[in-house]
Structure 1
Amino acid sequence: MQEDIDARIQSFYTSVFDEHARLTTRSAQGPLEYVRTQEIIREHVSAGTMIDIGGGAGVHARALVDAGYVVEVLDPVSRHVEQARALGLYARVGDARELPFSAGSFDATLLLGPLYHLAAYTDRILALREAARVVGPGGFVFAAGLSRYIAFGQATLGRDVPDPYPGEWVSLAAQGKPADGMRFPAGHFHTAEELASEATAAGLDVIEVVGVEGPAGILLESMVDAGEELSQAALAIARAAADRPGVRDMSAHLIAVARVPGGSGD
């Protein structure tokens, strides 16, 4: 299964979908996701070195470098690596499950894409352990998942309810398993609690799991330009709802903020 997903990732991001546009111009949700993700990272890490695993076209890394961080990008898609290099970033092709870095090479790891492209629990744990391995004791790991609640809503709402109820809908709700035939090469959809559990199983100390875009994010996804007033309202709601159990799952993206054990604060 994962070999098929990996092949679809290459095709999807090379010739179908522009990851750079997703965070900038594709919809009004992209800038909201961008702002909130930057806020979450900078709230916990004020300086230092980072590896952005699955860093896509380098949008987040470029902003962090401009703010004084030292950031390297690693991504499995050559197109993304080329786009990141075009932004003046150091980037290379690589796999989140086998990082080409020695232990403790960075102060923080961004794992903002790989987990939701990995179908197997064992692969997700491996990616999380690798993210932790390359960070020094006490360093941070920011690990993102796609919300199962949002995925289920997008798959089921706005249409008649079939009878019998489709088994793939049940699998999505109960297990986070993507439906067959999706254009997006998804591997898994998380709940906030599950994302925290996986980070803990990988040996990390979870500080919090937060929703990124908030309940209004899905509305902005349907709009190219939401206008300043609505965009600011959505941002305020996203900040207020970020750590509310249940409500945080109404964000399209969830981020587990975790630390590697062994730092001076432990």
Structure 2
Amino acid sequence: MPTSPEGIAELYAKIAENESNRLTNHPMERELTLRAIRQGLASSIDTATSTKRIADVGGGPGKLAFALADEGHHVDLVDLSPDLIYLAKTEQDERASVGNKSLLASITVGNALDMPMLPEGSYDAVLLLGPLYHLLDEAERKKAIENACYLAKPRSGLVFCAFISIEAHLRDIAMRDPARIVEKKDFYTRYLADGRYQKLNESLTAGVQSFHTHSGDIRSFYARYFTDTFDFIELRSTEGILGGGLDAKLVDASSEIVQAWADLLFEKYSTNEEHLGCADHLLAVFRRK
């Protein structure tokens, strides 16, 4: 069964407020993701300007998009959920009302599987930090990345692709409901085979649908489809060794402490293969050829 865009939009309508606060409540995901984007942009062969053009496709309420706009970048935000786009527009309006010039260039409802109404070959970076782990079929994930490639600058544009790890989900159920692995044995046998986490609601439509994977499978996915399109730059985690909410005490910590932990995790614990399974999200970085 392919992914239901309506199901995803309905899910985020229910959890819009939580999604708006998610990166505040997970500071390591926020900080390590931003560091990866900054590092990628700093390595760009296009040094004509420090202001980069970024497409955030599936960027939700725009928390990372606004953070990048605060750093002076031109950012276009696209998301499938009208509710999350409404939150982004609300923040945009609030910023404009107090004279804050760090605004997004555009905010649009759109689907990563359809070609966003954005200019071809114009972006120094394209962010796919939400769509891929909601796309159940491999063909859909391939299509979303092909669309991102369409937007990226030839020979320099970066594409950042986030995935959720299977290990993260197994860790979470071991902490919250360990009996589930026995009580739903058939479900988890299928899940471990294909990474499709799909739960049907009372109307037998997908209430929850997501795709989880392994680091090795991400590399195999790249090798099957994209060796002629992209260079594989790196694969890193966005929580280091503090996945599963282990960064909770950092939510109320000072900026100095948060940055010190982010520096440590980014430099020491976010790219080594033995640490990738400790994270919730895996971030693959490609450069268009």
TM-score over 0.5 for the pair: yes
Q: Aligned match of 1:245 in 264, 269, 273?
A: 273
* Counterpart residue number, 1:22: 22
RMSD of the TM alignment (CA)?
2.6
* Counterpart residue number, 2:246: 220
Q: Secondary structure at the match of 2:196?
A: coil
* Counterpart residue number, 1:254: 282
Conserved 8 A contact 1:169-1:179: no
Question: CA 1:86–1:181 in structure 2 vs 1: closer, same or farther (change >3 Å)?
Answer: same
Conserved 8 A contact 1:220-1:226: no
* Counterpart residue number, 2:173: 155
Conserved 8 A contact 1:216-1:234: no
Normalising by the residue count of structure 1, what TM-score does the alignment of the two structures yield? 0.85
Alpha-carbon separation, structure 2, partners of 1:143 and 1:197: 14
Question: CA 1:164–1:219 in structure 2 vs 1: closer, same or farther (change >3 Å)?
Answer: closer
- Whether 2:31 is the aligned partner of 1:13: answer no
Question: CA 1:163–1:139 in structure 2 vs 1: closer, same or farther (change >3 Å)?
Answer: closer
- Whether 2:88 is the aligned partner of 1:67: answer no
Question: CA 1:186–1:163 in structure 2 vs 1: closer, same or farther (change >3 Å)?
Answer: closer
Cα deviations by residue, 1:154-174 (Å, 9 ceiling, x for unpaired): 234552476587022222223
- Whether 2:87 is the aligned partner of 1:80: answer no
Question: CA 1:245–1:14 in structure 2 vs 1: closer, same or farther (change >3 Å)?
Answer: same
Question: CA 1:156–1:104 in structure 2 vs 1: closer, same or farther (change >3 Å)?
Answer: same
Deviates more, 1:223-232 or 1:122-131: 223-232
* Counterpart residue number, 1:186: 209
Question: What letter corresponds to residue 243 of structure 1 in structure 2?
Answer: T
Question: What letter corresponds to residue 244 of structure 1 in structure 2?
Answer: N
Cα deviations by residue, 1:54-104 (Å, 9 ceiling, x for unpaired): 010010010101101110000011111122222323210111012223420
Conserved 8 A contact 2:199-2:209: no
Question: What letter corresponds to residue 56 of structure 2 in structure 1?
Answer: D
1:97-176 alignment, distance < 5 Å? 97-99=113-115, 100-137=117-154, 138-157=156-175, 159-160=178-179, 166-176=185-195
Q: Aligned match of 2:112 in 96, 101, 114?
A: 96
Alpha-carbon separation, structure 2, partners of 1:125 and 1:241: 28
* Counterpart residue number, 2:54: 50
Alpha-carbon separation, structure 1, partners of 2:91 and 2:207: 26
| Offset of residue 123 of structure 1 | 0.3
Alpha-carbon separation, structure 2, partners of 1:133 and 1:259: 12
Alpha-carbon separation, structure 1, partners of 2:7 and 2:133: 13
**Which of the pair has more CA radius of gyration?**
2
Conserved 8 A contact 1:52-1:61: yes
Identity of aligned residues (%): 27
Alpha-carbon separation, structure 2, partners of 1:163 and 1:62: 43
Conserved 8 A contact 1:57-1:83: yes
Question: What letter corresponds to residue 185 of structure 1 in structure 2?
Answer: V
| Offset of residue 181 of structure 1 | 5.2
Question: CA 1:84–1:162 in structure 2 vs 1: closer, same or farther (change >3 Å)?
Answer: closer
Cα deviations by residue, 1:228-259 (Å, 9 ceiling, x for unpaired): 59856753553211111131121101100110
Q: Secondary structure at the match of 1:205?
A: strand
Alpha-carbon separation, structure 2, partners of 1:108 and 1:161: 40
Q: Secondary structure at the match of 1:71?
A: strand
Q: Secondary structure at the match of 1:258?
A: strand
